[in-house]
Amino acid sequence: MKQIFAITLLFAASVFASVAAGLDTTRIDELTGLKGKMNEKEGVYKVTFPRNDVKVVVDRWTMPPFMGLGTWAAFTETKNGAMVMGDTVLFEDEVNAAMSAALDNGLSVTALHNHFFFDHPKVFFMHIEGEGTIEKLASAVRKVYDTTKTIRGSNAKPAESFSVVGEPSLPEKNSIAAARLNEIFETQSELKDGMVKFTIGRPAKMHGVNIDKDMGVNTWAAFAGTDDNAIVDGDFAVTEDELQPVLRSLLKDKINIVAIHQHMTHEEPRIMFFHYWGRGRAKDLANAVKGGFLVGGLLKVSSPLP
């Protein structure tokens, strides 16, 4: 019996060694700049580091990184190479640069959300995933991490606004010209107190019931300010396959992504929602958002507002 047990242990050790060797954990360490740890039971190699470069206070308590401020990326071997999944701790002025770094280097961004209330500065968590070679995945993860280090290196204190130095404040009275934006979106807008809003629904099912725009399956864009000094904010409702290309489209045009999450359960098809914020000329912002509409095929699945 002892001999059988010993043979079993040797076999298991050889399997785990093979997994580790297949992952090339030494190379993961080199490329990410971190020292990881192997979970032999799961065949997962995980690198982590605490966000201890900025003091975070939650509910008036200074939070140690151990309590939930740890960035990580976990690698596991697949038949085509490897898969990586991870969660990245970010401050507000790091999110869009880190997201762009992830997308530009072949990673998918699957969620962006908060974990706390009453946190100062605000902390967000960006989930990533990807498949490919260890070289590709670990290098991409490193680029995301280096992006945040560069931002914090130039300013240890996270920014408190999207606005840049010298940018004029938004006017107190809104006066967006709806006609120009109606032409861009090729549909009629809603108007209120100088603000302009577009809403596009898409059909889906939930528990066998048809749902659409007014049940919450909609993409919208709202404009305020003036034609030359405007903001846009809104929400995209996209399928899982549409999420990454639409994110890329908006980020390319300098639209900030501020949340990625789900609004429903058991819907068909599965719908992901992401919220955004942009600043600039109303016409430029509208064209940027329309680009996201076109990439996601959203203009083809809905009737215009009456």
Q: What's the confidence (pLDDT) of residue 298? A: 73
Ramachandran sector of residue 184 (left: φ over 0; alpha: ψ -120 to 50; beta: rest): alpha
Tell me, what's the pLDDT at 92? Answer: 97
Query: Chain-centre distance of CA 61, in angstroms?
Result: 27
Block mean pLDDT (10 aa), the chain, length 306: 49 45 90 97 97 97 97 96 98 98 98 98 98 97 98 93 84 96 95 97 95 96 97 97 96 97 96 97 97 83 38
Report how far residue 166's alpha carbon sits from residue 274's, in angstroms, rounded to the nearest whole number: 29
Q: Name residue 289's amino acid.
A: V
Tell me what pLDDT residue 305 has: 33
Residues, the chain, total?
306
pTM of the model: 0.88
In this structure, what DSSP letter does residue 234 have?
A: E
Strands (E), the chain: 37-39, 44-50, 57-58, 61-62, 70-78, 81-91, 108-113, 119-120, 123-132, 190-192, 195-201, 204-206, 209-211, 218-225, 230-239, 256-261, 267-268, 271-280
For tokens 């009275």, the residue is 173
